[in-house]
Amino acid sequence: MNTSISITALSSISSLGKNTNDAWLAYTSPKHYITSQFVNNSNVFVSQLPEVAKQEIALLKQSDNKYKSLDNTVLFAIYTARLAVKQAGWLGKDNFGINIGSSRGATKLFETYHEGFLKNKKTETLSSPTTTLGNISSWVAHDLQTGGPEISHSITCSTALHAVLNGVAWLKSGMCTKFLVGGSEAPLTPFTIAQMQALKIYAKQDIDYPCQALNLDKSQNTMVLGEGAAMFCLEQGEKKQALAVIRGVGYATEILKHNISISSDAQCFQKSMKMALGNLHPDAIDVIVMHAPGTIKGDSSEVKAINSVFVNKQPALTTNKWKIGHTFGASGALNLELAVLMLQHQQFINVPFITHDVLPKQINHILVNAVGFGGNAVTILVSRL
């Protein structure tokens, strides 16, 4: 990539807390943030917002009469977008672009409206406008009073990193000078959880770490759903105030052989990582923040892809899903948040199932991976300024 893109602000809300300071403190702790919730007549593992974060969302919902009808996916996005834009010092009159994605969108609202329809044979007036994917970025643009452009999309679990791709493309084209990108997801609902259980990929074992993401010796799938959002302010060029710099982007899509599968050695990740590296030698990569959903095939195929690309020196490998679960369309953004925080604090966040013989003395370059159903992979190369 011949033009660097600066990340000048970031914000998040997740089971780790209501902002990036909370998130970093949680990352430096060895504990996970997975609990259980009674869903569909049984206890199910989930990674939900802590009470202090739920209170922030409740206050936001009550702050504007129009917001009372919005799904948590939209409220998470508004909340984090406000924090990021304030940190960057952007104003609505700057007319910055917005691209926020979600895999499922307004999941809770949709399920609630559909249940009401089945019961009463009619639906609520606002059931359509409040459950569309375009609902996310348009409400954020309204809240921040910016003229756009605004884009919403779903590309399953790689949605947030596809938003980063779009932001980079708009900035490089010169059509915008600032772009807000990210992902938001609130999937902890009965039908969504039942869907994951039907795929036989959901965690069942009540053990120290219910989600065994990157434990390559596990004998069961251990994916856990989480909720949250993360936003990034992107600006063209290398800014002095940048938290990190995007130096490369990569993407690839595999030809489907099964509805949810990718190849055993994740050809899509091999292509996306090589594209993101560009002219940078693979040995220069210090860390890879992996997608690693906690499934047997998902974790192992990504490791095989990494082994194929990094033949001389394997970077230190990590993931956050053992700690916060899989947040679907927001997961790539939360992965990128972890990468930026590690660059800032110069501290590697380990996974309890991996022992590294050597850890990088300095963290200068990190690859961030995400992939969705059907093998639509994205890799972002993020570096210290």
What are 87-105's pLDDT values in tens digits? 999 999 998 999 999 999 9
Q: Which domain holds residue 70?
A: 5-236
On whether both 287 and 219 belong to a single domain, the answer is: no
CATH number for the domain that contains residue 143 = 3.40.47.10
Residue ending a domain, choose from 215, 236, 257? 236
Confidence of residue 74 (pLDDT cuts 50, 70, 90): very high
Are the CB atoms for 35 and 46 separated by under 8 Å?
Answer: yes
Q: Which residues of 255-293 are buried (b: 16+ CB within 10 A; e: fewer)?
A: eeeeeeebbebbbbbbbbbbbbbeeeebeebbbbbbbbb
On whether both 226 and 91 belong to a single domain, the answer is: yes
Question: What integer pLDDT is reported at residue 15 of this predicted model?
Answer: 98
Residue ending a domain, choose from 208, 236, 264? 236
Per-residue pLDDT tens digits for 170-184: 999 999 999 999 999
pLDDT at 261 over 80: no
On whether both 257 and 130 belong to a single domain, the answer is: no
On whether both 36 and 116 belong to a single domain, the answer is: yes
On whether both 21 and 121 belong to a single domain, the answer is: yes
Confidence of residue 141 (pLDDT cuts 50, 70, 90): very high
On whether both 45 and 110 belong to a single domain, the answer is: yes
Selection from 33, 63, 272 nearest residue 164 by Cα = 272
On whether both 293 and 170 belong to a single domain, the answer is: no
Average pLDDT over residues 249-265: 78
- Choose between 11 and 148: higher pLDDT: 11
Question: What integer pLDDT is reported at residue 56 of this predicted model?
Answer: 98
Residue ending a domain, choose from 210, 236, 262? 236
Mean predicted lDDT score pLDDT of the chain: 95
pLDDT at 1 over 80: no
Per-residue pLDDT tens digits for 321-378: 999 999 999 999 999 999 999 999 999 999 999 989 889 999 999 999 999 977 899 9
On whether both 222 and 339 belong to a single domain, the answer is: no
pLDDT at 134 over 90: no
On whether both 220 and 335 belong to a single domain, the answer is: no
β-bridge partners, 10? 232
On whether both 224 and 258 belong to a single domain, the answer is: no
User: How many folded domains does the chain comprise?
Assistant: 2
On whether both 26 and 154 belong to a single domain, the answer is: yes
Lowest mean pLDDT among 65-79, 98-112, 245-259, 349-363: 245-259
On whether both 188 and 255 belong to a single domain, the answer is: no
